[in-house]
Amino acid sequence: MRMRIVVLAGGIGGARFLRGLRSAAPEADVTVIGNTGDDIHLFGLKVCPDLDTVMYTLGGGIDEEQGWGRRDESFRVKSELAAYGVGPEWFGLGDRDFATHIVRTQMLGAGYPLSAVTEALCTRWNPGVRLLPMSDDRVETHVAVTLDGERRVIHFQEYWVRLRASVDAEAVVPVGAEEAKPAPGVLQALAEADVILLPPSNPVVSIGTILAVPGIREAVASAAAPVVGLSPIVGGAPVRGMADKVLAAVGVESTAAAVARHYGAGLLDGWLVDTADAASAPEVEEAGIRCLAVPLMMTDTGATAAMARAALALAEEVRA
């Protein structure tokens, strides 16, 4: 039988890891549980950045350089909206991308759940994985910040894109998560998995949000399959993005070992750190998590496939 791999994924880091995994294990049956806490409603449309990033990356439609949005993109609709004074201007929705959000919103309006809509969108892109949203229910990550001396709670995209995480995140709240239910297929995929992988996605706003949906953390922790994660922190700094800002909000240091301890031995069986962080492996092992150091820079598909192979090998080792 084909190996069943379940991956909890955020946006760019998760999508690039998945491309390496598909190349490393082309025969595997891969289910992706995607973060939807980054979702935002704009211009009456539902935008799902992380689901789309996975779908476009694996389907060959991504803008490779920026890692999100469509390649060969134009921004005519956005500038027409701006001409009407309609924003936000800080969020770059392109014309091709708009079509995805229009189809999604139309289907949601017709009563289809997000999981069914995502499946329908994927029939065009053939990502080669089964892409499931973590939940069909609305969950939105909000960030508490102080701006001009005033405490405010803003949408994650406003914090990430408009403010570029330039102020401290005082709290990160996945609004709606407590009442959300895992999407159809999520718990079953975890229960039936042979391996569960946590790619080098953001531990707080990507994987943390998925785990915040009641039932998902428990299903990962109690799964028969080994759970192996890859550190998004290399040499004390996030490989990409601004994960350090949101890690600080939950009181976690930006080190490979601290992120492993944050997930904890109750969740993780194995943890890969970069060779630059090899010295932190004993600290992770002391926490009851098997730890190996391998190169973790996703410079190209070959290097990423090697990371995926290392994660699968570690899963076999801890399964024994």
- In the complex, the residues that contact ligand FO1 under the rule CB under 6 A are 10-11, 38, 47, 49-50, 52-53, 68-69, 91-93, 97, 157, 160-161
Question: What is the closest distance, in whole angstroms, from the C-beta atom of residue 300 to ligand FO1 in the complex?
Answer: 20
CB atoms within 10 A of CB 69: 19
Q: C-alpha angle with apex 49: 43 to 27, nearest 5 degrees?
A: 145
Which residue sits closest to ligand FO1, CB atoms considered? 11
Q: SS3 for 179-245, per residue?
A: HCCECCCHHHHHHHCCEEEECCCCCCCCHHHHHCCCCHHHHHHHCCCCEEEECCEECCEECCCCHHH
- Which residue type sits at 217? R
Question: What is the closest distance, in whole angstroms, from the C-beta atom of residue 35 to ligand FO1 in the complex?
Answer: 7
CB atoms within 10 A of CB 68: 18
d(CA 34, CA 171): 22
Q: How far is CA 240 from CA 122, 231, 278, in A?
A: 26, 12, 20
Residue closer to ligand FO1 (CB basis): 250 or 276: 250
Residue closer to ligand FO1 (CB basis): 49 or 182: 49
Question: What is the closest distance, in whole angstroms, from the C-beta atom of residue 249 to ligand FO1 in the complex?
Answer: 16
Residue closer to ligand FO1 (CB basis): 155 or 290: 155
Residue closer to ligand FO1 (CB basis): 49 or 61: 49
Give the pair of three-digit tokens for residue 276.
Answer: 């630059």
Residues, the chain: 320
Residue closer to ligand FO1 (CB basis): 87 or 302: 87
29 is in an annotated binding site: no
Question: What is the closest distance, in whole angstroms, from the C-beta atom of residue 293 to ligand FO1 in the complex?
Answer: 26
Residue closer to ligand FO1 (CB basis): 7 or 28: 7
Q: How far is CA 170 from CA 154, 188, 207, in A?
A: 11, 35, 19
Question: What is the closest distance, in whole angstroms, from the C-beta atom of residue 95 to ligand FO1 in the complex?
Answer: 12
Cβ contact 305:262 at 8 Å? no
Question: What is the closest distance, in whole angstroms, from the C-beta atom of residue 279 to ligand FO1 in the complex?
Answer: 30
What residues form the annotated binding site? 52
